[in-house]
Structure 1
């Protein structure tokens, strides 16, 4: 499950791929990077959206 509404990856992508993005940036910190919340197998992850891939097989 992904994003603030905890939807499936495909639905998250189709519904505008909402991410967290601060408008005020501080230099030299990773805490200000854009990210998305992902809940996978009961664990909560926070990753940069550039690493998201949705593959249909």
Structure 2
């Protein structure tokens, strides 16, 4: 990412969820962090599509 500052974020999750995400990350050739970020971005995109353009959900 071109000179974008990213703040670290610690999160807690159940071991089962972490194992699931780690397995998906391996299958997708990503780090665990990258897998989580991709999934969060997909969730945000889906939410924005649902509420429609011009709606502020921050």
- Normalising by structure 2, we get a TM-score of 0.23
- Normalising by structure 1, we get a TM-score of 0.23
Greater helix content:
2
> Could you say which structure has the greater relative contact order, defined with CA pairs below 8 angstroms and 6 or more residues apart?
1
Greater strand content:
1
